[in-house]
Structure 1
């Protein structure tokens, strides 16, 4: 069987490829990205650009199973079109089973929304492909670790509300994706990869306090205050708006879901937020 990972040069894509290699399945692996020259070892690298559909058809040729990972492009409405391009190219190339990486809480939203691409891609995949699997993911624990690093010197973590989130490790998502792609009976399934528990803002602050050995509080702030603080950090407007949108989704409960899908697909229990923070903060 020939298995492809589209978006392989990103952190998640690289982790999925590494997990597939580690599992030693004996299948042929193809890493597809805009920088195929970075692929080393026994994995075949192919050029595939989400903005150039013809390159995708060529890159996906001969694949039995394909994982499509969204790009990090934050331009309004762009990622949905990119994912449609990828799905259509996979169908044209004759890929038998398409796997799509999506996000927890995916729902219909305005095209200008940061998360609209996930719902758009899911619906397009379901309507056009005969064999598909969707893996929705909760919020990266590693991304929260990076946020905490930036704000821990202030002695307080901030949010727009209680923010109950089932933070999940990138490696656990990769392991779940690899397990699904190598497994059977996943056609037509929608899974959600989460950590073992939903953690609130105050609980997050308590974990950080314990790990750092000093009191760290949690404060609820307004969107205006959040934007102002991010702007002072020198972040560009598209990044700021994406960050604010994610925080809104925290408050809306989009990531307040806990499943056993990581263990079901990967064969191992997911790491907790505390486990990840201990690796990155201590």
Structure 2
């Protein structure tokens, strides 16, 4: 069987390739990106989400494809990329497409962050011969970045007290690898989550313990969040994305715990303490 990973140069893409290599049993593995890399037992192919012709060629001959969306936050861009990649995979004759999506995906218009994932999911369901969707919760590694930034002020912030089941990036990769290496996943929508949801106060306490410094959790209004990021010089697209995420945190959209990682990866997801310690001290 020929298995491809599109978006293989990103952090999740690299982790997925590593999982496939570790568990491979005679399948051909193809890593596809704008900057393709080849290694022993791995074929690299050029595939640019903004250039349809490169994708059709890159996806040729694949039986299964893991499609990892780009990190482009410009309104409308990632949604178009997702639709283009799916059209290219269908045109290339890929038999089964696995789309990495987001836990909170639902019908929303641009510039809402999940609009691009919704567009991808809809294109996949309508056109792919066989498909699977893996919706990932918020990365523990992203929380680690927030934790490092919070040291100076001594606080994590949120728009409300909230609960989130943070998931390690490697666990999402392992779940994706499990989908393409086993059968009976056609038409399924999975949610990759951590083993437990944590409130803002709980994750601040955990970060305090790991970093051996006092970190608190403070609820702030959305205007204060926007003002703070603006003063940091962050682009408007990034500010909008963070506000979107924090709004969904407050609404409970990430407060979901499933057994899908263990079911697909063959092992339980990492506890948040383990994932955070690795990210903060690794």
Q: Specify if TM > 0.5.
A: yes
The Cα shift of 1:211 comes to 2.1
The Cα shift of 1:151 comes to 1.1
Question: Given that residues 209 and 216 in structure 1 are in contact (C-alpha distance below 8 angstroms), is that contact kept between their aligned partners in structure 2?
Answer: yes
CA RMSD of aligned residues (A): 1.2
2:258 and 2:114 mapped to 1: Cα distance?
Answer: 21
Gaps of 5+ in 1: none
Which piece of structure 1 moves more, 205-214 or 146-155? Answer: 205-214
Within the alignment, does 1:11 sit opposite 2:11 as a pair?
Answer: yes
SS in structure 2 of the partner of residue 95 of structure 1? coil
The Cα shift of 1:216 comes to 1.8
The Cα shift of 1:236 comes to 2.1
The Cα shift of 1:280 comes to 2.9
Within the alignment, does 1:132 sit opposite 2:166 as a pair?
Answer: no
Which piece of structure 1 moves more, 18-27 or 189-198? Answer: 18-27
Aligned residues: 281
The Cα shift of 1:17 comes to 0.4
The residue number in structure 2 matching 1:237 is 236
The residue number in structure 1 matching 2:223 is 224
2:49 and 2:215 mapped to 1: Cα distance?
Answer: 42
2:280 and 2:16 mapped to 1: Cα distance?
Answer: 24
Q: For residues 87-113 of structure 1, what are the alpha-carbon distances to aligned partners after superposition, in whole Å with 9 as ceiling and x for unaligned?
A: 111111000111100000210001211
1:182 and 1:212 mapped to 2: Cα distance?
Answer: 38
Question: Given that residues 104 and 114 in structure 2 are in contact (C-alpha distance below 8 angstroms), is that contact kept between their aligned partners in structure 1?
Answer: no
Q: Runs ≥4 in structure 1, deviation > 3 angstroms?
A: none
The Cα shift of 1:40 comes to 2.6
Question: Given that residues 102 and 136 in structure 2 are in contact (C-alpha distance below 8 angstroms), is that contact kept between their aligned partners in structure 1?
Answer: yes
1:262 and 1:234 mapped to 2: Cα distance?
Answer: 37
Question: Given that residues 150 and 215 in structure 2 are in contact (C-alpha distance below 8 angstroms), is that contact kept between their aligned partners in structure 1?
Answer: no
Q: For residues 42-76 of structure 1, what are the alpha-carbon distances to aligned partners after superposition, in whole Å with 9 as ceiling and x for unaligned?
A: 21111111111111111000000001111011110
The Cα shift of 1:148 comes to 0.8
Q: Which aligned pairs between 1:29-40 and structure 2 lie closer than 5 A?
A: 29-36=29-36, 38-40=37-39
The Cα shift of 1:215 comes to 2.7
1:31 and 1:278 mapped to 2: Cα distance?
Answer: 29
Question: Given that residues 63 and 96 in structure 1 are in contact (C-alpha distance below 8 angstroms), is that contact kept between their aligned partners in structure 2?
Answer: yes
Which piece of structure 1 moves more, 121-130 or 90-99? Answer: 121-130
The Cα shift of 1:209 comes to 2.1
The residue number in structure 1 matching 2:116 is 117
SS in structure 1 of the partner of residue 31 of structure 2? strand
The Cα shift of 1:242 comes to 1.2
TM-score, normalised with respect to structure 2: 0.97
Q: For residues 204-232 of structure 1, what are the alpha-carbon distances to aligned partners after superposition, in whole Å with 9 as ceiling and x for unaligned?
A: 11111222333321100011111222223
SS in structure 1 of the partner of residue 164 of structure 2? coil
The residue number in structure 2 matching 1:266 is 265
The Cα shift of 1:39 comes to 3.1
SS in structure 1 of the partner of residue 101 of structure 2? strand
SS in structure 2 of the partner of residue 154 of structure 1? coil
Q: For residues 234-272 of structure 1, what are the alpha-carbon distances to aligned partners after superposition, in whole Å with 9 as ceiling and x for unaligned?
A: 322221221111111111222110000000000011012
TM-score, normalised with respect to structure 1: 0.97
SS in structure 2 of the partner of residue 15 of structure 1? helix
The Cα shift of 1:168 comes to 0.2
The Cα shift of 1:194 comes to 0.2
2:260 and 2:61 mapped to 1: Cα distance?
Answer: 29
SS in structure 2 of the partner of residue 66 of structure 1? strand
Question: Given that residues 77 and 113 in structure 1 are in contact (C-alpha distance below 8 angstroms), is that contact kept between their aligned partners in structure 2?
Answer: no
Within the alignment, does 1:253 sit opposite 2:252 as a pair?
Answer: yes
